[in-house]
Amino acid sequence: MAQLVLALILGLAILTWVASGVVETTARGWFERDVGDRSRLVLVSAGPSLAGAWSNQSSLGQHLAELARDERVMGAAACGLDLQPRAATPGFPTDFGCWAIGARLRSGGAGSSIREWSTVADPPSGRIHVSVMPVSSEAGQLGFSILLHDLSYIQIREEKARSFLLAAFCLLALLALLLPVFAARWARYGWNTELRTFLRGGGRGGKREFQPLLKDVRELVERMAHERDDVPGQWTARRLKQALNRHLHGERVVIVSNREPYLHERTQGGIEVRHPASGLVTALEPVMTACSGVWVAHGAGSADRETVDANGRVRVPPGEESYHIRRVWLSEEQESGYYYGFANEGLWPLCHIAHTRPTFRAEDWRQYQAVNRLFANAVCEEVDSEDPIILVQDYHLALVPALIRERLPAATVIMFWHVPWPNAERMGICPWRDELIEGLLGSSILGFHTQLHCNNLIDSADRYLETRIDREHNAVAKSGHRTLVRPYPISLEWPVKWAEAAASPRDCREQVWHELGLKPGALLGVGVDRLDYTKGVEERLLAVELLLETHPEYRGRFTFVQLAAPSRTKIERYRQLNDAVEKVAARVNERFGAEGYRPIVLLRAHHEPAEVYRYYRASDVCYVSSLHDGMNLVAKEFVASRNDLRGVLVLSEFTGAARELTEALIVNPYNLEAAAGALAEALRMPPGEQADRMLAMRSVLAQFNVYRWAGTMLADAARLRSQERLSSRLSARQPAMV
Ligand code: F6P
C-alpha cells in the first residue's frame, strides 16, 4: 500500500510539473495578446489628437502623458519620419527610441513611411510589449507613435499560478496519504456513512479534522474563479461567448422583455425592419448576438404576425440570424392594462422622481398579472432543460421571476431592473408593492444600475415582507430562497457597430448642415430621446433659451436639434409633454429666430440608429438633461460615436451614466443658469481639452462595455449555480435526522 501511495505522489508531481509548463505558456500568450490589442486600441484612438497636436510639442507631450497614465504603460513617444523624437514621456528608454525602432521599420530610404508593428522584447530588466502606430493627417503620414507596456506583472501572475498548482499538488498528495486510512475505516464501518459525514464536514468530534481542508479547497476554488474573471484586457463578443462556455458549459440563454429588438412594420414600400428606441434593446442586442438563444418579447410591430413561423418565432438579426425572437401576442385590452396602464402610468412614474403622479387601477393590475403569466409561460415553452439560464428584463415583468421559479425551481433567473428603484417610503404607495417585491425575489440575482437602487430594494423587502436580510452579502432570503442583489451598470458594445459604419465626422457634418440649412461656421447641439417627461426635454430647451439670452454672440450661430421619438402617445401625460415641448420650441424660435435661422429644430419622428449616429458625429455638443434616469445610454452613445475625439457631453447629474462619465460637464438640469453656462463652456472648449475628456470617457466605455456587464452577471450566476448544485447534492445525501 505504501508503495502505491508513493507511486501516486510521484505521478502527481510529474503531472503538476508538466501542467504548470503548459499553463504558463498558454496564459502568457493570452496576456500578451490582450496587451497588444489594448495598445493598438489606445494608439488608434489617440491618432487624431496626436496628429492635431503634432506641431505643438507641449500639447503633444500632454497627450502622450495621458496615454501613459495607466500604471502598466512604461512610456509613450511620438517620432517624425526623420526618426527624430517630437515628444516623449519622461524616462522613455532609449533602447526603444525613435531611431532604434524607426530604422527597423522604415519601408524605404530616409523619410519613408513607417508601418504598424508590435513585438515583445525581453531585455534583462524584464519583458516589454512594444507597439508602433503610424500618425497621419489628411496630408499624409506625419510620423509614428510608440507605446511601451511593462509585462512584468505577467511574471507575477505566472508565479501566482505556480503557487496555486503547488497548493493543489499538496492537497492531492495529502488526499493520497489519507486514502489508506479511509480504506481501512470504510472496510470496518461501511463507506456510505463515512462519506456522508465527511461531506457534511464531520458531525461527530472525531471527523472535524477535515473541516479546515474543505475550507481550504473552497477558498482555493473561489480565488481561482475570481482570478480568471479579473484577467485584464477588453471584454469582447468572443470573450463573452467563451465565458458562457466556460462557466455555463454553453447553455443557451433565454432573454425576456416587453420590448423586442426588431419590429417588422408594414409601410407603403412593403415590410420594413425597425430598431426600437430603447436603451434596453441597444444594450442587450449585441449580448444576444454573441450568445445566441432565444429572446421572448411582445410582438408589437404592424407586420410582426406575418413574419413569424407557426410557433411565433423569427430568426434575427436580418442577414446574420444568430438567435431567434419568440413573439408574445397581446390583445388591445391586455396591452392597455399591462403596458400603458400598470407599467407606464403606475410603475414608471413611481420609480422616477420626475413629479408625475402614479396612477394605480385594479383592472390594470389584473392585466399586469395575467400578461406576466403569459410571458412566463412562453419562457417555459422555450427552455430546453430543467435548469435554464433566464435573463428577465425590466419593470414590465416584475412577477415573471417568481412565476418561472414555480414551474422550474432549478432555473437560474437573473432579473435586471433598468430604471431606478425608489426608496421604501415611496415604494409603499403602490397598493401591490408586496406582490411586486415577492415576484422579484423569485430571481437568483437581481441587478440594478447603482448600489443606491440595490439598497432601496433591500430596504423595501425588509420593510414590507417577511424576509431575512444578509447585508454583508447583499442578499435577501424569503421562504428558503435566496436572491443576490447586485449593481451591474449597463453599457454599450465596444466598438459600437453604428459608429464603425458611419461616414467621417466631416461628411456627417456636411450632410447635416445641408439638411438643416445651417451656415458655414454655425455651431450645433443635439439631444436624442424618446419624448418622455423623465428626459427633461422642456428643461433642455429652456436652457438653450437662456444661453441665447445671456450670450448674444451665439444668436444666429447656435442651433439645437432635438431628435424626439414619439413614445407611449396613448397616455395623456405624454400628449401634454408633446404640446409643452412644442410650445417652448416655438417661443424660442419666435424670440431668437431670424431670416434663415431657427435656434431649435424639433424632429419628432422615429430615427434609425444610423441617422442618430450621423447627428452625434456632426454636433459640437450633446446635452442629456434627464430629471431622473437609471443609466441613459444616449450619453454613452455620443461618446462612442466620437472616435475623432471632438464634441462635448453636457450630462445631468441625475443619470446613472454621470457616475462613470465624469469628464462630461455635469449639471443639474433644474438649474437653468448652470445648464446654460455649461452649454456656453462646451461651445468654447478648445479642441485639446475636448480630446482629453473624450479620450478618458472612451477608455471607460471600452473597458466597461456591455460584454463585461453580461459576462460578470453570468459569472456570478454560474458561481451561484455550482454552489446551489453542491448544496442540493449534499442535502440529498444527508441521512434523515432521527
Ligand atoms: O430604459 C428604460 C426603458 O423602459 C426600457 O426598458 C424600454 O425599452 C425603454 O425605456 C423604452 O420604452 P418603451 O419600451 O415603452 O418604448
Query: Tens of pLDDT along 446-476?
Result: 999 999 999 999 999 999 999 999 999 999 9
Please say whether the dihedral angle defined by the alpha carbons of residues 148, 152, 154 and 157, taken in this order, is positive or negative: negative
pLDDT for the residue numbered 163: 74
d(CA 427, CA 457): 9
Residue 181 has pLDDT above 70, yes or no: no
d(CA 619, CA 642): 10
Ranges 239-248, 506-515, 572-581: which has the least confidence: 239-248
**Confidence class for position 8, pLDDT limits 50, 70, 90:** low
Residues 477 and 517 in one domain: no
Ranges 73-87, 393-407, 577-591, 672-686: which has the least confidence: 73-87
In a domain, 366, yes or no: yes
Residue 59 has pLDDT above 90, yes or no: no
Residue 238 has pLDDT above 60, yes or no: yes
CATH number of the domain bearing residue 327: 3.40.50.2000
Task: State the chain's mean pLDDT as an integer.
Answer: 89
CATH number of the domain bearing residue 107: 3.30.450.20
Residues 608 and 636 in one domain: yes
Residue 312 has pLDDT above 50, yes or no: yes
- The minimum-distance atom of ligand 1 relative to the CA of 394 is 6
**Confidence class for position 5, pLDDT limits 50, 70, 90:** low
Residues 583 and 597 in one domain: yes
* Contact indicator for 563, 603 with CB cutoff of 8 Å: yes
In a domain, 600, yes or no: yes
Mean pLDDT for 14-40 is 80
Report residue 326: phi and psi, to 5°.
Answer: -110, 115
H or E segment and range at residue 683: helix 672-683
Q: What residue owns the CA closest to ligand 1's atom 15?
A: 568
Q: What residue owns the CA closest to ligand 1's atom 9?
A: 278
Residues 542 and 625 in one domain: yes
Domain count, the chain: 4
Distance 173 CA to ligand 1 centre (A): 56
pLDDT for the residue numbered 318: 92
Residue 309 has pLDDT above 80, yes or no: yes
DSSP 337: I
d(CA 156, CA 164): 13
Distance 228 CA to ligand 1 centre (A): 34
Helix, strand, or coil (residue 30): helix
What tens digit of pLDDT does each residue of 712-721 get?
Answer: 999 998 888 8
Q: What residue owns the CA closest to ligand 1's atom 6?
A: 280
In this predicted model, which residue has the larger pLDDT, 444 or 199?
444
Residues 532 and 616 in one domain: yes
Mean pLDDT for 11-24 is 73
pLDDT for the residue numbered 37: 86
As given in the structure block, the three cell numbers for residue 100 are 532604434
End-of-domain residue from the set 487, 511, 540: 487
In a domain, 523, yes or no: yes
As given in the structure block, the three cell numbers for residue 713 are 452577471
What is the percent of the chain with per-residue pLDDT over 70, rounded to a whole number?
90
Distance 250 CA to ligand 1 centre (A): 29
H or E segment and range at residue 298: strand 293-298
Please list every protein residue whose CB sits less than 6 Å from any atom of ligand 1. Answer: 259, 278-280, 394, 418-419, 530, 567-568
In a domain, 615, yes or no: yes
488-525 exposure pattern, b = at least 16 Cβ within 10 A, e = fewer = bbbbbbbbbebbeebeebeebbeebbeebebeeebbbb
Distance 348 CA to ligand 1 centre (A): 10
* Contact indicator for 274, 299 with CB cutoff of 8 Å: no
713 C-beta neighbours (distance < 10 Å), count: 19
- The minimum-distance atom of ligand 1 relative to the CA of 281 is 8
Distance 515 CA to ligand 1 centre (A): 29
Distance 398 CA to ligand 1 centre (A): 14
In a domain, 175, yes or no: no
Residues 193 and 277 in one domain: no
* Contact indicator for 710, 493 with CB cutoff of 8 Å: no
Crossing angle of the two packed helices 400-407 and 433-440, in degrees rounded to 10: 50
Report residue 243: phi and psi, to 5°.
Answer: -60, -40
Residues 50 and 126 in one domain: yes
Task: State which residues form the domain around 257.
Answer: 239-487
Which amino acid appears at position 236 of this protein? Answer: T
Mean pLDDT for 140-160 is 84
In this predicted model, which residue has the larger pLDDT, 451 or 22?
451
d(CA 636, CA 698): 9
Residues 538 and 587 in one domain: yes
Q: What residue owns the CA closest to ligand 1's atom 11?
A: 278
Residue of 418, 534, 706 to mutate, ligand 1, most atoms within 8 A of C-beta: 418
In this predicted model, which residue has the larger pLDDT, 267 or 72?
267
- The minimum-distance atom of ligand 1 relative to the CA of 567 is 16
In a domain, 734, yes or no: no
Residues 464 and 513 in one domain: no
As given in the structure block, the three cell numbers for residue 662 are 465624469
Residue of 352, 394, 396, 416 to mutate, ligand 1, most atoms within 8 A of C-beta: 394
- The minimum-distance atom of ligand 1 relative to the CA of 568 is 15
Residues 213 and 256 in one domain: no
**pTM for this structure?**
0.72
End-of-domain residue from the set 174, 206, 233: 233
In this predicted model, which residue has the larger pLDDT, 609 or 251?
609
Residue 216 has pLDDT above 50, yes or no: no
pLDDT for the residue numbered 462: 98
pLDDT for the residue numbered 49: 85
Q: What residue owns the CA closest to ligand 1's atom 14?
A: 259
Residues 647 and 694 in one domain: yes
In a domain, 168, yes or no: no
As given in the structure block, the three cell numbers for residue 446 are 437581481
Mean pLDDT for 302-323 is 96
DSSP 643: T
What tens digit of pLDDT does each residue of 601-655 get?
Answer: 999 999 999 999 999 999 999 999 999 999 999 999 999 999 999 999 999 999 9
In a domain, 160, yes or no: no
Residue 6 has pLDDT above 90, yes or no: no
Distance 280 CA to ligand 1 centre (A): 7
What tens digit of pLDDT does each residue of 97-136 get?
Answer: 898 888 888 878 888 889 899 999 888 777 889 999 999 9
pLDDT for the residue numbered 293: 94
Distance 396 CA to ligand 1 centre (A): 9
Residues 68 and 123 in one domain: yes
